[in-house]
Structure 1
Amino acid sequence: MNIEVLSEVTDEVAAAFARLLPQLSRSAAPLSRAALAEIAAHQATTVLVAREGSSIVGTLTLVLYPIPTGLRAHIDDVVVDSSARGQGVGEALTLAALRIATESGARTVDLTSRPSREAANRLYQRLGFVLRDSNVYRYTASPA
């Protein structure tokens, strides 16, 4: 398995995201190739893809941004294709993101995971993530 930083959005990449994104969230709108390219090119994001042979079987987005207290790192939108789960893809993606974050100067890396994603939560705990005693708040803007 190879983990790569997404540098170019090809037809193959767009098709992989079209297949993977619904496995992550039923409510997520499909991404256009242009929108995906914008995300991949953004200075705050590093999009990682996992390849098994010639197929993209997973993806993860690492977000790095400076704030007054230091460089923040957050892992988002981790998804592994249902056909590749349990084969170490999520672990390889997460370890690559942790390496990039620490090499960039982040002292901590945060992520959130729904309690129902039991396998993912076990993985994160096994990799050293610790459940924080924190409130997570979300504001949802009303449609214009």
Structure 2
Amino acid sequence: MTDSDTDSGNVIGATIEVATTVDDELVAAFESLIPQLSSSSPPPSRELLADLVDGADTVVFLARLDGAIVGSLTLAFYRIPTGIKAWIEDVVVDNAARGHGVGRMLNEAALDVARQRGAKNVSLTSRPSRESANRLYQRIGFQRRETNLYRFDL
């Protein structure tokens, strides 16, 4: 995403859909997209993609432009004693499609599904170096939280 992401957020010809099947096109799309997101994580295998697509607690969103997959977002749900929460992970838009509202469309679709499923909130993290993505999240309505985020690597 770049500074030219617009508040209107719609790209002519861009569509958002939920992945329902794992085929060669989806595997190839993730093989192209994941390296643009992370240099330390390999693309998911066909089996892992199937687990995500078929999982009751995950929704994989795809952005298409001119029929080609140009972005993805994974929405994960989890239940805790105080309700249902959701988490947005691995948002990635192909370099060639950035700056045209595709990321906004993916996020808005995820927020709509989270509302429909009764989530009380949706969280995400974004590295500070991803300045344009952070601006986009704030424009959509995400609020930065003052918290200590801890992680234990296994």
- Shorter-chain TM-score category? over 0.9
Per-residue CA deviations over 1:97-144 (Å, capped at 9, x if unaligned) read 000001111121100000000110000000010000101001011xxx
Q: Distance in 1 between matches of 2:103 and 2:81?
A: 31
Aligned residues: 141
Gaps of 5+ in 2: 1-13
Aligned-partner residue type, residue 114 of structure 2: A
Q: Specify the alignment match of 1:56 in structure 2.
A: 69
Q: Flag the structure with more relative contact order, 1 or 2, with Cα contacts below 8 A and sequence separation at least 6.
A: 2
Displacement over 3 Å in runs of 4+: none
Gaps of 5+ in 1: none
2:127 pairs with 1:114: yes
Q: Distance in 1 between matches of 2:33 and 2:67?
A: 16
Q: Specify the alignment match of 1:47 in structure 2.
A: 60
Q: Distance in 2 between matches of 1:80 and 1:31?
A: 16
Q: Specify the alignment match of 1:14 in structure 2.
A: 27
Q: Specify the alignment match of 1:90 in structure 2.
A: 103
* Same amino acid, percent of matched pairs: 55
Deviation, structure 1 residue 30:
2.6
Per-residue CA deviations over 1:21-59 (Å, capped at 9, x if unaligned) read 001100002321122111111111000000001100000
Q: Distance in 1 between matches of 2:45 and 2:122?
A: 29
